Each structure stands twice: as structure tokens, then as C-alpha cells.
Amino acid sequence: MPKLLVKQATVNYHGFFASPAFNLFGKLPEIITGLSKTFAVHNVGLGNFRLEGDAAEPSTAATVVRLGRFGIYKFSFDHVQASLNGFSDGDLEGMVSVIMAGNRWVRESVNDFAFKTHAFVYSSHSALSDGLTSSQFLLGLARRTTPILGEDLGSGIVETWHSAPMDAKIRLTLDHSLQERDGLYVSYMVVLERDDIDYVEIALRSRELLEKFLQEVGLEFERSQR
């Protein structure tokens, strides 16, 4: 089975609030203090913080904490975000713990708080093993009947479905990579429209679902243990 040799990968988590954190408007010291204490185990200092946005547009204002190998955690008044680039399995576990800790602080700090939606988004650009090109791979997939008005280079897949075990909407794209020559681009989104989720369970099930889908289309990730 051809292997995906990941060259670039990103994981993003977005947690959108049911209503903005009005009680934290203008309370930057409280936000920085709270996030400092939340992530104290990472030896967070003022140098780990970055402030973003335009004071005239509250929706753009954000406090970002850099957490080394575990990426960043970003607090905005209407959502939170965690991001990780070029990671190992261990880094992903750390990212989950960052999300759990950060979101716990948000719940404790914002009046009448609830999440409206959680979204996990994975994207990667990979080469294929054994000299296989993206065209060769995609041309081998089952074809739709839409007409091709030229040389067929192989078309990607976009699938959307509801996962009952996770009660989540899944959207998965598999296509030619525009970053990696002859490589494949994977975009995988898991959306959960409710307040409380089990972050560990969702992260694990999401990973399993992605790997299962890839196996079904005849692909697998190259394994590297750390």
C-alpha cells in the first residue's frame, strides 16, 4: 500500500463561543495573568505572549501564547484557537492538553459561558512512496461520470458525512498538492456543534477515522515512533 510521506502538516483547533466574552473586554492584565497561570508548567513568561488585532475592531483582538513544541493558544473575545505545525505524535498529545487547560480557564473566566462549535482541522502535503505520483494515484480511484474536456490528470476527492460515534460533521479532501510536486494534499475537518466535548476521545477517534478512510482508498501514513 503506498505510504504518505508527510512533508508539511498543520493541526488547528477552533472553539467558537455561543456569545462573546463581554466581561473580559478591556481586561488585558486579567487575561494575561490567567493564561500565564494556566500554562505555568510551560515556564511561560511575558516573552511568550503576543497581542494581535485592532482596538477599533474587537473581533480581531487576540492574546496569543507560544508554548514551544505544543504550538500556540490564542484567545479572542469570540473564540479560541490552538495551532501546531510539523509535529510528532507526542506533540499532538501536548496540544490536546493545551486545549483542555486553556478552555478550562475560559469557562472559569467568562460569565455564562458555553461553546457553540468545536472544529479540528488537519492539513498536510505529502509525497508518495515508491515514486508514485499524485496523478497515478488519483487516476486509480473510482471515477465520477463528470466529463473531462482534456487530458485527465486525476481528480481529487471531497467527501462530507456525519459520524454517529462522534456526533460530528466530517469533511475530507484528498487532492493534488500545490506545495509538494507530484504529492497529495489532505484536508480533514471534524466539526462538533455542542458545548462540551471529550477532547482526548475526539482527538483519538478523529485520528482513527482519518487513518481508516485513507486505508479504504489505499493509503497509509509512514510510521515514525517517538
Partner 1 sequence: MNTQIHDLSLGNSLAGLQHGKTVGLVSDPFMRPTSMQAMGVPHGSAPGPKVVHSIAGLQMGDQVVELKATRDVQTPVIGDLRSLREEERSMADPITDYAFAEANTLLTFAHLVFGDDLPRTLLAPDGEGGIRIEWFRENRNVRVIIPSRPERRAYVYQLIGEDPRIKPFSQSSVVQTLRSVILRP
Q: Could you list the residues that contact partner 1 (CB under 8 A)?
A: 10, 14, 16, 40-43, 45, 47, 70, 79, 88-90, 92-94, 97, 101, 117, 119, 121, 123, 125, 171, 178-179, 185, 187, 189, 191, 200, 204, 225-226
109 or 118: CB nearest partner 1: 118
Residue pair 189/90 in contact by the 8 Å Cβ criterion: no
Percent helix, strand and coil across the chain, each rounded to 5? 30, 35, 30
Q: Give CA–CA dist 37/41, Å, rounded.
A: 8
In the complex, what is the shortest distance from the CB of residue 77 to partner 1, in angstroms, rounded to a whole number? 13
Sign, CA dihedral 103-105-106-112, equals positive
In the complex, what is the shortest distance from the CB of residue 177 to partner 1, in angstroms, rounded to a whole number? 8
41 or 164: CB nearest partner 1: 41
30 or 89: CB nearest partner 1: 89
Sign, CA dihedral 208-213-218-219, equals negative
In the complex, what is the shortest distance from the CB of residue 64 to partner 1, in angstroms, rounded to a whole number? 16
Name residue 128's amino acid.
Answer: L
93 or 217: CB nearest partner 1: 93
